Amino acid sequence: MIRTLSFGGIALFLLSACTVTPDAPTEPEVVESAHDYHGSEPQLFLVEPLAADQNLEIELLQLTELLYKADLDDEQRAQLLHHRAMTFDYLGLPTLALVDINQALELKPAMAEAYHSLGIYYSQAGEYQAAFEAFDSVIELQSDHEYVYLNRGLAAYYNGQFELALSDFADYYFQNPADPFRVIWYYFAAWEINPGRAFEQLNEQWEAANADPWGQKILEFLVGEIDSDTLIMYAFENAEDRRMLTYQLCEAYFYMGKVAAMNGQHYQAMNYFKLTLATNVYPYLEHRYARTELNNIRDLLRSP
């Protein structure tokens, strides 16, 4: 399941105006098997980084043309700018995305999705107070927003405010306890407060979090039911295509890095986070925060 931090969509009339050119016919993909890497360390299996999506590049051109040529009112233009911002984001162009988000908010100051996107960018940049203000604006405008508690929790977590993070992750978890990734982040925040109790709670929760087989496999790794080699081999053996394999390895390497860091294996953790970044899966939260994890470890290693 793709965790893109839930960026918003676009009005139906704009969707119809921004039809994306279909992919050209291609040969069937060959997905490597774990057995193809016999003799290698499974945790060092690599995949090709995702290439830029041609459909998104074409969509970007169409959105830009609409912005310059279409007769739009302020609300329509704000929606279009936000949609273009998310297209920039998916292509790994965050600065251009941020410019469009701010322009959208100038046109439509009560746009919850734009504040949500703004909060994510502030959090990634380490500007946590600004991120909290943006997420609080989302809650004021749309209290039932599906992902705001996850992302405000992430801002609190990476700002070292673990009690606040645990509260937000708890709200997010109880919306859908069957989602493995809600269990994972609830565990990470709880671990910072009381590692032993957090691990006990993880063991109580993980089996019921079965809405996503791949996510539950990561939970199996976290509770020690399987090792990292088995997790990576599962990713190779159960991916439908190379893109899905890259998505899964982005996540696998990130959570392997988290476990290594929690166990004090700092250099191994750094390698895993670098592998996460190397996938180019820009919209995944694991990719977004892998660099933050790297910087945190570097700061720790530099400290006396």
Identify the burial level of 139 via C-beta atoms within 10 angstroms of its C-beta, where 0-12 means exposed, 13-18 middle and 19 or more buried: middle
User: What's the pLDDT score for residue 45?
Assistant: 73
What predicted TM-score, i.e. pTM, was given to this entire model?
Answer: 0.85
User: What's the pLDDT score for residue 44?
Assistant: 60
Is the confidence at residue 21, as pLDDT, over 80? no
Least confident of 62-71, 129-138, 149-158, 223-232: 62-71
Q: How confident is the model at residue 92 (pLDDT cuts 50, 70, 90)?
A: very high
How does the average pLDDT of the chain come out, rounded?
A: 87
What would the pLDDT profile of 45-54 be if each residue is shown by its tens digit? 777 788 888 8
Is the confidence at residue 292, as pLDDT, over 70? yes
User: What's the pLDDT score for residue 278?
Assistant: 95
Q: Give the other-Cβ count within 10 Å of 2's Cβ.
A: 8
What would the pLDDT profile of 186-200 be if each residue is shown by its tens digit? 999 999 999 999 999
Q: How confident is the model at residue 127 (pLDDT cuts 50, 70, 90)?
A: very high
What average pLDDT does range 234-251 have in this prediction?
A: 94
